[in-house]
Structure 1
Amino acid sequence: MPLLQTPLDALRRRRARRSPFPGLGLTLGVSVTFVTLIVLLPLAGLGWQLSQLGISDYLFVMSDERTLAALRVTIGAAALATVFNGVFGLLLAWVLVRYRFVGRSALDALVDLPFALPTSVAGIALVALYSKDGWIGSLLAPLDIQIAYSWWGIVVAMVFTSVPFAVRAIQPLIEELDPLEEAAARTLGASDWQTFRSIVLPKLSPGILTGTGLSFVRSLGEFGAVIFIAGNIPYETEIASLLIMIRLDEFDYPAAAAIAGTMLALSLVLLVLINIAQTRLYRRLEGGQ
């Protein structure tokens, strides 16, 4: 380090320490403005619509048989899709991380396809596959199994649109696993199942929880892919998102706001619970280390 420092050297050092982003005031202002316009204003509009309903009016809307049936269909299908994504997402993430094979990069890229593909296009593609004349539907028809235009079609559409959340949440944690710990467990006589249950699963549990939780929340709000394959029969295959749209078409804005507000509240509660559980799991893992 030189004993004498010229003003030019000092200027160069200040520029080297300077962040490439603008100051806190500007970045914070842009961030708050973006969040307000994109997130807070729509939520405020929904809250204003809900405020027009009294408790009795809200209970009247939510106790309607058609509304309850749509909620049962939506939540039940989302729950089953989430279970499938939890199992399949773990297996797929494990294969992508632990094995090297021809086409691995292509398979890894296909995982993100539901993010890039418009949901309506996904719905049309699923109908083409699972209808009675489709590639898969024609094979299931002789077995008297119908996927398209049934409750199972809703599950398939929800699985397709939400499986990336499970895979991408679990994959980084698998990459961080130390294979030496698994090898040490086998050396001590542990079986593959004991190794997975005692060493692998606890470290993957935060990712599994996050992935399945996001998958469930995503499935609750799915619309485009589902309406093409569901059949949209009231009380049978009508989802909550479609019922909200129907109420809007009928200019029944309070009823639409009540259903949408309920779905939003359920999603927010789930996200908060997931964050709390994830934090506790990480603390438990750090404490165990």
Structure 2
Amino acid sequence: MENRTEVTEFLLLGLTDDPRLRVFLFITFLLIYTLTVAGNLGMLLLILLDPRLHTPMYFFLGNLSLVDFCYSSVVTPSVMARLLTGNKVISYNACAAQMFLFATLICVENYLFTAMAYDRYAAVCKPLRYTTTMRSSVCAGLVMGCYVLGLLNGCIHTGETFSQSFCSSNVIDHFFCDVPPVMALSCSDKRVSELVLVYDVSFHIFFAMLLISTSYIFIFHTILRMRAAAGHHKALSTCASHFTAVSIFYGTIILMHLKPSSSHSVDTAKIASVFYTIVIPMLNPMVYSLRNKEVKSAFLKVMNALVCGRPSKV
């Protein structure tokens, strides 16, 4: 305990020390974060305001938008502040809090993707029983399970990482307090903790991917048996959007986490982290919602009501 408390703050090296590149990254991240906030909170507001969007699919999308907004906000504003001011210092407690919140929310997102895959399975494979299969209590239970598993994941990651002794370097070669770069600073025997974290991440990722893959095996089997071309197109469009988001999400997570710290490429880890902390939360509203006719209709209805003071007929 005495050795561990010698480090009271960390230094985050960030993405670059080049002043011109820092300005460029600040402007880029500011634009991305603005789109992230507008897209996710706008989507959440549309779902709350339009009764036509009070369905299981949009219930999950609303939670996904909330989680995307939250976990982007855990990282992106602090990254932009450091790019603008050059201040690289983060306190020990703030680093632990950032790691806990991020590990929790990223795991919640992981299982929300799984719940959404199950919702699409129920809609495509069992349409006649959809309303009973995806009743309100089931949807609420699935989302609650996502948050509970996320909290457990956050506790395990933060507990295992900050139970280590940090008695030498306090320089984190990263732009936020993620597990691998912080764990790399430990001067105690971290082999057991690394194994625990690798197994924990592996379980959550592969368990979710197994459930998603199983859902889509049944979905594709059902699609192949459809005779109507319109049914094919609608189902495949839904699957393509989900697969795009899932592929980006899981690809970057696996690249970042499922390796021991000794084999990490710092540059690769930073690039992967930029995608899943800053870019993906901006993309999800576009992938899932902006191409959706129901969402466009709800958006036009709300805008017409705000501008003209009367409901839209769209």
What TM-score do the two structures reach when normalised by structure 1? 0.31
Query: Which has the greater radius of gyration?
Result: 1
